[in-house]
Structures are given as structure tokens and as C-alpha cells.
Amino acid sequence: MRLLLFGSEKCFACQQLKKEFQKRQIPYIYVDVEKESQKAIDYMITSLPTIIIENGKGEIKDMYIGYGQGVWKFLEKYKLVKGDK
């Protein structure tokens, strides 16, 4: 399983989420949609930030769009974070 965070350097919420992931030591792969636009198209990203959980085969298992308290509950399902922020 791997976590992908799709964002942009111009997206304030994306930058905040990156900081929180680093602070909480959550392993993730950051995809800057401005630099990797084809990957954003391949994953059908329409809003930022978007978090994608992939299974071991590279298939999308789940997706969360936005930044708020719900993101922590989403990550709890996959045991990537404990408790609410």
C-alpha cells in the first residue's frame, strides 16, 4: 500500500497537508500536478489536494479530496495515523 498526495506549490492547503504528513512522519509520495500533469490526468485529479491510497498492485483503493478534519479519519482507516488531529 502506498499513499500519494496530489498538490501544487500554489495550493496553500496542499502545502499545509505536506507539513502535517512530515510532522506526523506519514510516508507519502508527493505529486506536483504542475510538474507531472500527465500523472494527474492518469489519476483523473480534478481538485487539490487529493490523497490516493493504492494497493500493492498500483490500483486505486481509496481517495480523499480536500483538507480538513476528515482527512485524519480517512487515514485512520489505513492505520497511517492514530487518533484525530
We report the CATH number of the domain holding residue 21 as 3.40.30.10
Cα separations (Å) of 39 from 25, 73, 74, 75?
24, 26, 23, 22
pTM summary value: 0.92
Do the domain assignments include residue 32? yes
Q: d(Cα 74, Cα 49) in Å, to the nearest integer?
A: 14
**Which residues does residue 64 pair with via DSSP β-bridges, in sequence order?**
51
For the stretch 2-11, pLDDT in tens is 999 999 999 9
For the stretch 51-65, pLDDT in tens is 999 998 989 999 999
Do the domain assignments include residue 71? yes
Do the domain assignments include residue 85? no
